[in-house]
Amino acid sequence: MHPLATRPPSMEAEKPKEDDGSGSDEKPALPKLLLGAIGVVFGDIATSPLYSMQQAFSKGGIAPRHDNILGLLSLVFWALVLVVSIKYVVFVMRADNHGEGGMMALTALARNAVRKNSRACWWVVMLGLAGAALFFGDSVITPAISVLSAVEGLKLASPAFGQWVLPIGATIIVLLFALQKRGSSLVGSLFGPVMTLWLLSVAALGVYSLLRHPEVVAAANPRWAVEYMAHNGFKGFASLGAVVLVMTGGEALYADIGHFGSFPIRLSWFGLALPALLLNYAGQGAELLQDSSGAQHPFFSLVPHVLLYPMIVLATAATVIASQAVISGTFSMVRQGIQLGYLPRSRVEHTSGDMEGQIYLPTVNFLLFVAVMIAVLGFRSSDKLAGAYGIAVSGTMLLTTLLLLVVARMRWQWGWARLLAFGIVYVFIDASFFGANTLKLANGGWFPITLAIVMMVVMTVWRRGRHLMERQLHAEGEKLEDFIDHQQDDPPLQAPGTAVFLTGDGQWVPQALRHNVEHNHVLHERNVVLTVDGLDQPRTRGDERSELEELAHGFWRVTLRFGFAESIDVPARLRQLKLDPTLEADKVVWFIGHDEVKADDDKSYHMARWRARLFAYMARNATPATTYYGIPPRRLIEIGARIDL
């Protein structure tokens, strides 16, 4: 099947409508949603105390003196309040695309808001793709830094464990990716209780330390942050690269609203996660006021020696959960990218019969595993990985703000005064964090940027190649109605039964249909020209799920629409139309165009030659339609031709 068998998302398909965000008619009980949100949504941000303060006071950084400790704590406090609590939890989570969140969903929402302006639409798409590409970089760094930072606590228990940190961390990561095929449901029932225990534990450690040095609560006064930046100058600005680490995972609060809904995430954030994190960071600051030598690992310095081993085990479990959540989020984003037309088809396996969101992509899992192991073996410590981590997080935050401004102006109808006030504050904050992290490009920041560039190239090349193929096929094609009329001049032989021809555009004659008539001189009694249309919304509803048009002489034109969060089962959806009794799976012949894309050296292309070769490689290796669309292979006939871009 050639890459155009799925039509790109329709701009007209997305219309504002109310949605409960659950994706089903029956909502789980609130306590179950709260526990699920704590276990999945906050895994990344809840494990940030393991490494963020350590990075701020690392060698060559800020000296752990009284004023610096209070100043840095003030920056941490206001980062969690202004960026995570106000920007993400209050504002960004309002920008749901029919109950679905995440960078791809926000991009689709913003693109539809400016769909009448082609230039603005292009910029919105590029910003969204850049944000998605940075998220892939984040997905590689998170498992590596989280697991290593937890296992590094062993060095405090005994220096002899130092040589075992890397092998143990690598082994945990190998097991983590090996278990992905079993699905997160394998340990999903443990996510909520373990993360709840983790958050209560870090809060208790913070309170224990605060009781000895309660003066650190003064850090809530922004004066300390202002004085800190004024007194430390460039070093203070550079330390923002460590402060941003306390917000890692903030994007997950928005990305997971489709699974849990906005209210449970907000309630669990303000009711448990935020207070626990603030208490722990304050406790780390209090511990440093008492003994600045703990700056090498402030988190484990809080832990009484008798509880050190149990806390290392709990921290490791929490980081595995955080990594699992990020990996699952990557699977979801890749599937969204495929169905929105920005990535080639890849095999999607559903690991749960109850929850649609639990999916496994073997190819993506393997590529993620390779990249994570490169990060672990290349950087070898959480301290070095922290330099690579912040730039992906801060870049994604900045791009989210820019897309949110588009949505706020075009969909929420914000006035210019309100828009500028919000934009100036948050663009300045996000740009400051991003600028501070660019200082770490030479010390690891290049790694996620390289990953993001690779992903950006893949997505733009695939999108451009699809467009060029569609244009070429149309230039050589014929309108479907004209084709039907021409067949009556010299009718071909008629075969019994029903034939379904998949195409990217139902207005034109499918390549498989044209070649079948030209070479085999035969048509079936009933011919269905079928288009699978991906929408800029998570799920389809009611009449928008399908469109049926009866044409002359036994032809039908059918469009099936799927949201970017839906499973694609084309035969099942087609049978729901009750078009004809012969549409049973074992009585239909499926015809698919399997055009071979070529990029020879002696030809000129409408895209750079290396891009044409890359697109041709991706097209050859895309998952077959029989797997991706659920088409029975024994009833499939593939007819193709060579296409030069």
H-run or E-run covering 596: strand 596-598
Residue 488's SS3 state is coil
Q: For residue 603, name the pLDDT band (cuts at 50, 70, 90).
A: low
Contact 622, 30 (CB under 8 A): no
pLDDT score at 91: 94
How high is the mean pLDDT of the chain? 82
H-run or E-run covering 572: helix 570-575
**pLDDT value at 576 more than 90:** no
- According to DSSP, residue 350 is labeled E
CA distance 196 to 193: 5
Q: For residue 426, name the pLDDT band (cuts at 50, 70, 90).
A: very high
Q: Please provide the DSSP assignment of 410-478 as one string.
A: HTS---HHHHHHHHHHHHHHHHHHHHHHHTTGGGTTHHHHHHHHHHHHHHHHHHHHHHHHHHHHHHH--
Higher pLDDT, 25 or 203: 203
φ/ψ (deg, to 5) at 597:
-85, 130
φ/ψ (deg, to 5) at 53:
-65, -35
H-run or E-run covering 522: strand 522-535
Average pLDDT of the segment spanning 416-441: 94
Q: Please state the separation of Cα 523 from the chain's center in Å.
A: 44
pLDDT score at 586: 58
Higher pLDDT, 621 or 122: 122
Strand partners, 598: 644
Query: Nearest to residue 582, comparing CAs of 544, 556, 559, 562?
Result: 556
Whose tokens are 């999916």? That residue is: 359
Strand partners, 561: 533
Contact 172, 320 (CB under 8 A): yes
Residues 265-305 have pLDDT tens digits of 999 999 999 999 999 999 999 999 888 877 778 888 898 88
H-run or E-run covering 642: strand 642-644
φ/ψ (deg, to 5) at 537:
-145, 155
How many residues appear in the chain? Answer: 645
CA distance 400 to 348: 27
CA distance 306 to 184: 32
**pLDDT value at 357 more than 60:** no
Pair type for strands 596-598 and 588-593: unpaired
**pLDDT value at 133 more than 70:** yes
pLDDT score at 521: 84
Alpha helices by DSSP H, listed for 52-184, are 52-56, 66-78, 103-113, 118-151, 154-157, 165-178
pLDDT score at 60: 63
**pTM of the predicted protein model:** 0.79
CA distance 260 to 139: 21
Strand partners, 637: 591
In the chain, the amino acid numbered 565 is A
pLDDT score at 372: 92
Contact 429, 83 (CB under 8 A): yes
Residues 178-234 have pLDDT tens digits of 877 765 554 455 788 999 999 999 999 999 999 988 989 999 999 999 999 999 988
pLDDT score at 347: 80
All residues at 6 or more sequence positions from 443 whose CB lies less than 8 Å from its CB, including other chains = 384, 387
